[in-house]
Amino acid sequence: MSAIKREEVSSHLRYIRLELREMHQMLIKDDLLPDLNEAKEVHAQLDALLDLLSDKRVKKIKSQFGNF
Protein backbone atom coordinates (compact mmCIF):
# COMPACT_ATOMS: atom_id res chain seq x y z
CA MET A 1 0.00 0.00 0.00
CA SER A 2 1.40 3.37 -0.96
CA ALA A 3 2.20 5.93 1.70
CA ILE A 4 -0.58 8.23 0.49
CA LYS A 5 -3.22 5.48 0.68
CA ARG A 6 -1.90 4.41 4.07
CA GLU A 7 -2.27 7.98 5.36
CA GLU A 8 -5.81 8.21 3.93
CA VAL A 9 -6.80 4.97 5.64
CA SER A 10 -5.19 6.14 8.87
CA SER A 11 -7.05 9.43 8.70
CA HIS A 12 -10.38 7.69 8.08
CA LEU A 13 -9.80 5.32 10.99
CA ARG A 14 -8.91 8.18 13.36
CA TYR A 15 -12.07 10.07 12.42
CA ILE A 16 -14.28 7.00 12.75
CA ARG A 17 -12.74 6.10 16.09
CA LEU A 18 -13.39 9.61 17.42
CA GLU A 19 -17.00 9.58 16.24
CA LEU A 20 -17.65 6.16 17.76
CA ARG A 21 -16.02 7.22 21.03
CA GLU A 22 -18.33 10.26 21.22
CA MET A 23 -21.38 8.07 20.54
CA HIS A 24 -20.28 5.61 23.20
CA GLN A 25 -19.84 8.40 25.76
CA MET A 26 -23.31 9.68 24.92
CA LEU A 27 -24.77 6.22 25.54
CA ILE A 28 -23.00 5.83 28.88
CA LYS A 29 -23.22 9.36 30.25
CA ASP A 30 -26.65 10.50 29.14
CA ASP A 31 -28.28 7.14 28.46
CA LEU A 32 -29.27 8.49 25.05
CA LEU A 33 -29.09 6.99 21.62
CA PRO A 34 -26.89 8.82 19.11
CA ASP A 35 -28.54 10.93 16.45
CA LEU A 36 -29.46 8.87 13.39
CA ASN A 37 -27.59 11.29 11.10
CA GLU A 38 -24.41 10.86 13.16
CA ALA A 39 -24.67 7.08 12.83
CA LYS A 40 -25.25 7.42 9.09
CA GLU A 41 -22.19 9.67 8.80
CA VAL A 42 -19.97 7.11 10.54
CA HIS A 43 -21.41 4.40 8.30
CA ALA A 44 -20.57 6.50 5.24
CA GLN A 45 -17.01 6.90 6.53
CA LEU A 46 -16.73 3.13 6.92
CA ASP A 47 -17.99 2.71 3.35
CA ALA A 48 -15.39 5.20 2.09
CA LEU A 49 -12.68 3.29 3.93
CA LEU A 50 -13.88 0.01 2.46
CA ASP A 51 -13.80 1.57 -1.02
CA LEU A 52 -10.21 2.69 -0.47
CA LEU A 53 -9.17 -0.77 0.60
CA SER A 54 -11.29 -2.65 -1.94
CA ASP A 55 -9.95 -0.67 -4.90
CA LYS A 56 -6.47 -2.05 -4.40
CA ARG A 57 -7.71 -5.60 -3.82
CA VAL A 58 -9.77 -5.55 -7.05
CA LYS A 59 -6.76 -4.30 -9.03
CA LYS A 60 -4.56 -7.02 -7.53
CA ILE A 61 -7.09 -9.75 -8.36
CA LYS A 62 -7.50 -8.46 -11.92
CA SER A 63 -3.74 -8.45 -12.43
CA GLN A 64 -3.44 -12.00 -11.08
CA PHE A 65 -6.09 -13.33 -13.42
CA GLY A 66 -5.41 -11.03 -16.35
CA ASN A 67 -3.49 -13.74 -18.21
CA PHE A 68 -6.51 -16.04 -18.53
Q: Are 23 and 42 in contact (CB under 8 A)?
A: yes
Is residue 46 in a domain?
Answer: yes
pLDDT of 1 > 70? The answer is: no
Q: Quick check: is 18 in a domain?
A: yes
What pLDDT sits at residue 68?
41
**Range(s) of the domain holding residue 24:** 3-56
Residue 64 in this model has a pLDDT that exceeds 60: no
Whether 64 is in a domain gets the answer no
Residue 18 and residue 11 in contact, taking contact as beta carbons nearer than 8 Å: no
pTM metric for this prediction: 0.53
The contacts of residue 1 (CB under 8 Å, 6+ apart) are 9, 56
8-63 pLDDT tens trace: 888 888 888 888 888 888 888 887 777 788 888 888 888 888 887 776 554 555 55
Is position 67 within any domain? no
The number of domains in the chain is: 1
Residue 42 located in a structural domain: yes
